[in-house]
Structure 1
Amino acid sequence: MNWSLMAEAFPRLLEGAGLTLQLTLMSLVAGFILALPLSLLRTSSSPLLSWPVQTYTFVFRGTPLLVQLFLIYYGAGQIDWIRATPAWFLLRDPYWCALVAFSLNNAAYTVEILRGGIRAVPAGEVEAAKALGMPYQLRMRRIVLPAALRIAMPAYANEVVLMLKASSLASIITLMEITGTARKIVSESFSPYEVFISAALIYLALTFAIVRLFRYLEYRNSAHRRRPPAEIPSPPTRVARRAFATVQAS
């Protein structure tokens, strides 16, 4: 084991970790913003609203992310009308191609996660909100979505971890995140063992931080379940029963 090489590789890999975190966070934010309204359409009873969203999630969940990345990175330049639009200024850059692919893929999974959370909201709470006269928008904002987000948080935490690991695919299209930087160091040093162990340790550290963050959020959101039960009064003692009988006799 070449420890000196690992020590030299770590600073360069940490520079790549910045791009990894940037891609992960931006794709998560964009994916969540896109998934929130789509999840409401997905749970709609109208087929005209739910079927297009179901088709979108089926396609992006049923095909590999690497294929989607290649289609956007290599395929966008083959379509003439895309090159004639302002979108081409973004899609000709590998960074934005990776961000678009990651965001669309993450949104597809997040839609299904939120759909499951919305479906799991107790029907009694929704009926109570209807009985109070809450309109649909207010009911969703105050009752359904907060409860659905609490229910879906463990599954969404897994999706965040998977998105972090999937960001390594950006190295295929020349982006120098953790994996791309590691491959470059390996091509210079011809020591893949030490370099990729260092990269794996960085991924493990980031995953650990994400898991701890979501555990803290779950702990904060479950405070109502940790309230101590109401104290049950202890049965009266013999002295108390005798005193009570004396008072009644007098």
Structure 2
Amino acid sequence: MRARVRIAAAAAAALLLAAPASRAQGLVGLGLDYPYTAAPLINFSHMSAMHNNAMLNAANSARKHERDIANVAPAVKRNAQELAKVFPASSQASMVQVFVQSMDVYETIEAKMGSPRKDLEMALAAFIVGNYMVFTNREVSDDEFKAVAEQLRQAGGTSRLREKERPETLRNLYEKSAMVGAFMALAYKSQQQKAQPEQVAANLRNSARENLKIVLGTDPARLRIDGRGVKLLQ
């Protein structure tokens, strides 16, 4: 755990170098070219209209395409390099290492959760949860994490992605989401153990806000995560 905290601290320091506190720099901007940015993963206005058949179809589609992703070779280092491009040239090599190590951390979490390998919904849930923890300064439990993944599975957004995107694109989405999600969660843990300079904390929180806004399509201040997943406050 100490090694993981050191990774988070190094990443936070790199964020401080990459963007001044006055400029919101979302980690989505680190080469994370989400194909669903025009259509949020969770459509809150339609959540109450979900039917069992739609849930079953989404689950069946997830199982089919998980096999497709599993058959595509990993590209962790290349995806880490893309995520690191936004940083100054002098920091990019160390940030590549940070993101690669964050993927290792995510795979440990994935196994702990009992999730299948390369589960797209779990990686996207990690992205949401990691950013939420930084933005709200609140721990998310394992059960709440699982609830977010299940909510994504049922909402249908990832099924639409699978219908349109190639397995290689989904593999990249899985890896980048996992890396950024674990990175942000570790940054949160690091802040709990040792307060970061105000500028670093502000950069991280601004990044988390922008990430959540793009992925969920609404003001992150209205979001809450509980045992039923992500909900929107009125």
Q: TM-score if structure 2 supplies the norm length?
A: 0.29
Higher helix share: 1
Of the two structures, which has the highest relative contact order with CA contacts closer than 8 Å and spacing of 6 or more? 2
Q: TM-score if structure 1 supplies the norm length?
A: 0.27
